[in-house]
Amino acid sequence: MTTIRLTMAQALTRYLASQKTIIDGKTVPIFAGVWAIFGHGNVAAIGEALYQHRDALPTFRAHNEQAMAHAAIAYAKASFRRRMMAVTSSIGPGATNLVTACAMAHVNRLPVLFLPGDIFANRRPDPVLQQVEDFADGTVSVNDVFRPISRYFDRITRPEQILAALPRAMAVLTDPADCGPVTLSLCQDVQAEAYDYPEAFFDEKVWTQRRPRPSDDELAAAVAALRTARKPLIIAGGGVLYSGATETLANFAEAHGIPVAETQAGKSSLPADHPLNMGSIGVTGTSAANELARDADVILAVGTRLQDFTTGSWSLFQNGKTIIGLNTQVFDATKHRALPLVADAQAGLREIGLQLEALSAPEDWTERAAEGRNLWFRAADKATAATNAALPSDGQVIGAVQRALGSGATVVCAAGGLPGELHKLWQAGAPGSYHLEYGYSTMGYEIAGGLGVKMAKPDQEVVVMVGDGSYLMMNSEIATSVMLGLRLTIVVLDNAGYGCINRLQMATGGANFNNLLKDARHDVLPSIDFAAHAASLGAIATKVASIAELEAGLAAAVTNDRTTVLVIDTDPLVTTEEGGNWWDVAVPEVSPRPQVNAARKEYEKAMQAQRVVD
Ligand SMILES: Cc1ncc(C[n+]2csc(CCOP(=O)(O)OP(=O)(O)O)c2C)c(N)n1
Ligand SMILES: [Mg+2]
């Protein structure tokens, strides 16, 4: 056996650089690069190794570990999980800064390789700077917090362990069912230790997309259920996009006259102008989709986790006793006693289609869908129309962005009032042009996420829509986007506080308290100059005074040579009334406030519609 003597860090880096995939017929590295903020625990050994391999495996520097991981997550999502990135940090705070992002990748089933530095395996210098000391357990370090939020976790305490750990990591990162974050916690001393690694370990390995086909029994049960359906509905989740099943879905829906509703992760599975696309479903759903969902008898749920925003906290499917769970992951496929159809979305839809043959949904059902769609579009047009109002709504800003950029742009968002409004109102074009992180809905994802999307789609217009709250939570990667020449268009909607939570507080009977800045304890009411702030980070930044100025600014942003930030004041109270569904938010059972007691009564009534098991 030919061997080569390398440090663990050199071997790991070389291995990552030799992992490949095929995109559009071309073999490319599966890792587009490594995000790194160095410190003790990664600068000496990982840093030295990344420098050696900087051409094959580029290293990118940012300003916050969590934000680097947001960019990596967004890159993987925008690449439909076919390509990915790694993230390395120093020990201690650098590592724990990654925790929120690791949980986000876990919830969203997105592949990211986390490489946090860890304490010394040999324990000689203990306790080192930034080491947490457990009085009762010598094996604990802060990196143990990654265990429950990683799909695969390993602590590398000997250099030869990566011979087993790295192939296991790749298996998880590339598997459609198990896909999620992998954490290899790299003890500082072990990173620097040399070992005689077999040369064959570094052979080029090409990973292709695995497409499990359904079993005969599950397929027969799903087909039998669909044959009895009088009112079938498809829910398209993120799995449709990750499987590349958008064309198959369109063909399937058209062949059988079945309307399609989209989750946050699944939006853009069909273009908005497809006649069978009912738009968003659930709490932030269109009236068109939700009316069908309430009445549908058989629901084909494709590649969705069926989270509460999709199911209206399980109050939405009043008539739908039969759910078919078409999913690569059995955990998802069997939720709420669904008939599981464990398979890749493309393979599953194709095989159901072959067995259904010419079977089509009753015409009155398809016609009802078309009417609902027309009605919805009228409501959406009204909500997004241009206005001269001093404080436009989020919907009106969305309208301006769409008029200025068209459906060719990719919109990026994550938290606040915007995700609900975008889910309802954004008219998506190509698959993946709607990029919402609404699994973990992490404030601060938006700008760093936009950067990751732009890395995946450098030739496309990427527009980040972000509230003032999310902007203030994490904005540092504006500077990174300027540094890397990755031009973003960022629209900041400033409603002077946490508008959506203030509305939720009001809806649950609460007093206006601690959400909008004016309702928070203060000596001085903040008046934040977002444009000046963004300009200080290197962006071209303007505060616009109207929807018309915003549209003009957006048109100019496209030709600017760097990231452009447009700030607009918005109304914190107005949202699109049409559509939507109840969402389970627990209201206090007793309170001195009559408004809370009234909200509790409504809450108890609404809960009666919630399906528990049947
Ligand atoms: C990291 C994080 N902290 C808290 C929350 C809870 N949360 C969701 S939206 C929101 C307010 C967002 O404010 P802003 O970005 O200004 O959007 P707006 O609600 O005003 O539209 C909060 C606090 C969250 N989703 N993520
Ligand atoms: Mg706000």
* Atom 5 of ligand 1, residue of closest alpha carbon: 443
CB count in 10 Å sphere of residue 34: 25
Max CA distance (Å), the chain:
78
Rg (CA), the chain: 25
Give the ligand 1 atom nearest the CA of 502: 19
pLDDT tens digits, 515-561: 999 999 999 999 999 999 999 999 999 999 999 999 999 999 999 99
Question: In this structure, which residue's CA is closest to atom 10 in ligand 1?
Answer: 416
Query: For the residues 132-158, what does the mean pLDDT come to?
Result: 97
> Which of 418, 443, 501 is the pocket-test mutation for ligand 1 (most atoms within 8 Å of CB)?
443
Q: Is the CB of 467 under 6 A from ligand 1?
A: yes
Closest CA relative to residue 457, chosen from 17, 76, 176: 76
Q: Is 470 in the pocket of ligand 1 (CB under 6 A)?
A: yes
Could you tell me if the CB of 446 is within 6 A of ligand 1?
Answer: no
Identify the pLDDT of residue 611.
84
Expressed in angstroms and rounded, the spacing between residue 34 Cα and the centre of ligand 1 is: 29
Helix (H) or strand (E) run with residue 341 in it? strand 339-342
- Which whole number is the average pLDDT over 439-465? 98
pLDDT band at 160 (very low <50, low <70, confident <90, very high): very high
Is ligand 1 within 6 A of the CB of residue 415? yes
Tell me if 395 CB under 6 Å of ligand 1: no
Q: For residue 407, how far is the Cα from the chain centroid?
A: 19
pLDDT at 614: 63
- Cα(129)–Cα(338) distance, integer angstroms: 51
Query: Is the per-residue pLDDT at 310 higher than 70?
Result: yes
Mean pLDDT within 410-430 = 98
Strand partners, 566: 491, 542
398 CA → ligand 2 middle, Å: 15
Please state, for a pLDDT cut of 90, what percent of the chain lies above it.
97
Q: What gap in Å lies between CA 125 and CA 140, rounded to an integer?
A: 16
Strand partners, 567: 492, 543
Give the span between the Cα atoms of 491 and 609, in whole angstroms. Answer: 38
Question: H or E segment at 238?
Answer: helix 238-243
The closest residue, in CA terms, to atom 23 on ligand 1 is: 498
Chain position carrying tokens 């000997």? 158
User: 372-395, pLDDT tens digit by residue?
Assistant: 999 999 999 999 999 999 999 999
Tokens of 549: 């100025």
Mean pLDDT for the stretch of residues 73-100: 98
Whether 613 shows a pLDDT value over 80: the answer reads no
CA of 394 to the centre of ligand 1 (A): 14
Q: Is the CB of 498 under 6 A from ligand 1?
A: yes
Instruction: Compute the mean pLDDT over every residue in the chain, rounded to the nearest whole number.
Output: 97
The kind and range of the H/E element at 218 are helix 216-228
Residue 444 CA: which ligand 1 atom is closest? 1
**Percent of the chain predicted with pLDDT > 70:** 100
- The pLDDT confidence band at residue 193, using thresholds 50, 70 and 90, is very high
**Closest ligand to the CA of 415:** 1
Any atom of ligand 1 within 6 Å of the Cβ of 418? yes
Digit-coded pLDDT (tens) for 224-275: 999 999 999 999 999 999 999 999 999 999 999 999 999 999 999 999 999 9
Mutate which of 498, 516, 571, 575 for ligand 1? The one with the most ligand atoms within 8 Å of its CB, which is: 498
Please give the average per-residue pLDDT across 411-423, as a whole number.
98
Whether the per-residue pLDDT at 353 is higher than 70: the answer is yes
pLDDT at residue 320, rounded to an integer: 75
3-state helix, strand, coil split of the chain in percent (to 5) is 40, 20, 40
Give residue 318's pLDDT.
Answer: 87
Kindly state if the Cβ of 500 falls inside 6 Å of ligand 1: yes
**pTM of the predicted structure, to 2 decimals:** 0.98
